[in-house]
Amino acid sequence: MANELRNDVFDFMNPMDGFFGNMNRNFSNTSKMKTDVVENDNNFEVNAELPGFKKNNIDLDYRNDTLSIHAVHDLNKDQKDKEGQLIRSERSSSNVSRAFYLPNVENDKISASYDGGILKITLPKEAKDKTKHEINID
């Protein structure tokens, strides 16, 4: 994320983009899901920033060694005056998805929590058989 921010700070100086080209790129960057994936000895930990999303609008799926996160956020906001007349009506929608290849996970032990706009997912790794199997060569 630091590189992304650093690069965006100096993009306004690129004369080839022009003012509107740079604006469009900056607005498109706002819809990305910032995510950290950490591999430990016993599990993978995934932390995704989803501020403003409701828990029931977030879907998680793990199949074929891939974790998929999909979230939808719809906002409808009306502003009325004292007489109840509509002054302004705004609608916006955000739809974000990410997928991560995380192999050898125990499907039935995956856990997730969502608090303060942060989705935390723990994916325990399958236990490896550490016993040696010696094979004699004839």
Q: Please write the tens of the pLDDT for every residue from 119-132.
A: 999 999 998 765 66
Question: Which pLDDT belongs to residue 129?
Answer: 65
Domain ranges of the chain: 34-124
Question: Which pLDDT belongs to residue 74?
Answer: 79
Least confident of 2-16, 41-55, 57-71: 2-16
For the entire predicted model, the pTM comes to 0.64
Q: Please write the tens of the pLDDT for every residue from 12-44.
A: 444 444 444 444 444 443 457 899 999 999 999
Residue listed under structure tokens 């501020």: 51
Query: Backbone dihedral region of 7: left (phi > 0), alpha (psi from -120 to 50 degrees) or beta?
Result: alpha
Share of the chain above pLDDT 70, in %: 74
Question: Nearest Cα to 120, choosing from 65, 70, 49?
Answer: 49
What is the edge-to-edge ordering of all strands in the sheet holding 111-115?
35-39, 43-49, 118-124, 111-115
Q: Which CATH number is associated with domain 34-124?
A: 2.60.40.790
